[in-house]
Amino acid sequence: MKKFYYFSKTKLKFVEIKNFYRKFLFLVIFFSFLISFFLFGSFLVYNEFVNPDWEVKSLQRKNLQWKEQFQSLLEKYRSLSVQIDTLLKSSNELRLVTNLEPINSEDSLAGTGGNIFGNFDPGTPSDVKELLNEISSYVIDLSAKVALEKESYNEIKEALKSNEKLYEAIPAIKPVDGIFGDQFGMRIHPILKIRRMHDGQDIIVDIGTKIYAPGAGKVSFVGRRGGTGLTIEIDHGFGYTTIYGHLSKALVRQGQRVVRGDMIALSGNSGSLTTGPHLHYEVRHNGIPLDPRNFMYDDVNLFDFVKSAPTSLLGKDNNSKENN
């Protein structure tokens, strides 16, 4: 290692400098610190006396940046709120279509947010704190709106599924092509000669006329009943059942599933309370008789469904019952 010397006037000779590098490094650090302290002190003195508002200006610049950020955030919330309100309106329209009660404005939290979209110009830290609290409250309201909308759409989804099954099942066509006879309602019975309720609609047809299922369902009864003779009953679900009386032949068995347009029987004149060949047709909901004419549409052709329905059940059921 290289050695360093200095000339001693007292000793009149060169003397070696001990720990030169360590001493040199200490001096460099010491003077660097001294210079930095001097420069920093000068900067503070300058800003304190020459530019006393530098801290204020710095805060103003930061405040401007925050203001721009808050304005951008508020605009995004505003756009999101408008979109959610539009969805809520569309949701209510869908709820009406699917027979669900619409959500009122109070439940949907419409109009929340209020003056949060005013110009953001905080004067004090408390103003900023108040605005942040408003934003937090608004975010909670938006979250509640989204949760409510999600729940509503789940209800609509389930209702659509249920309605689809209902539309397939509900008796919606005339079960046989014939002439309307005695109607639903009070009448003088043609045999008993007393005034009594007629729970169905009579359709006059020749013996052996094909009868079709007016909606999807499960055959719940095939057998004989005193007044209506050979009778079929179909459970369509959703509380709906249909009854077919005075048959000559049943082409379905109990427990069998049918769809709209499937052939289920042939008309006849069976039973003790019939004055001639016809189909006695009933529609019930939760056991209550309804007018079958309300479930028949003039613009719907029975044979449109028969043509598009699966292969007829005729000949498929070897266990079908006949009127002997």
Q: What is the pTM of this model?
A: 0.54
246: left (phi over 0), alpha (psi -120 to 50) or beta: left
88 sits in which H/E element: helix 54-97
The pLDDT, as a whole number, for residue 4 is 57
Q: Token pair of 166, please?
A: 């209902």
The pLDDT, as a whole number, for residue 114 is 46
Of 247, 271, 274, the closest CA to residue 181 belongs to 274
pLDDT in tens, 127-162: 666 777 777 777 777 777 777 777 777 777 777 777
Distance between CA atoms of 265 and 244, rounded to whole angstroms?
9
The pLDDT, as a whole number, for residue 61 is 74
Per the CB < 8 A criterion, the answer to whether 213 and 262 are in contact is: yes
In terms of DSSP bridges, do strands 210-212 and 263-267 run parallel, antiparallel, or are they unpaired?
A: antiparallel
The pLDDT, as a whole number, for residue 17 is 61
The pLDDT, as a whole number, for residue 314 is 43
Q: Which residue has the tokens 């001294």?
A: 34
pLDDT band at 184, cuts 50/70/90? confident
The pLDDT, as a whole number, for residue 316 is 44
Distance between CA atoms of 215 and 121, rounded to whole angstroms?
67
Buried b (16+ CB within 10 A) or exposed e, 242-273: bbbbbbbbbbbeeebebebbbbbbbbbbbbee
Higher-scoring residue by pLDDT: 220, 297: 220
pLDDT in tens, 3-57: 655 556 676 666 566 666 676 677 778 778 778 877 777 766 666 665 556 566 6
Mean pLDDT of 285-311: 75
Average pLDDT, the chain: 76
Amino acid at residue number 48: E
Of 297, 281, 288, the closest CA to residue 213 belongs to 281
pLDDT in tens, 53-111: 656 667 667 777 777 777 777 777 777 777 777 777 777 767 766 667 777 655 554 44
Mean pLDDT of 178-186: 85
pLDDT greater than 60 at residue 312: no
pLDDT band at 194, cuts 50/70/90? low
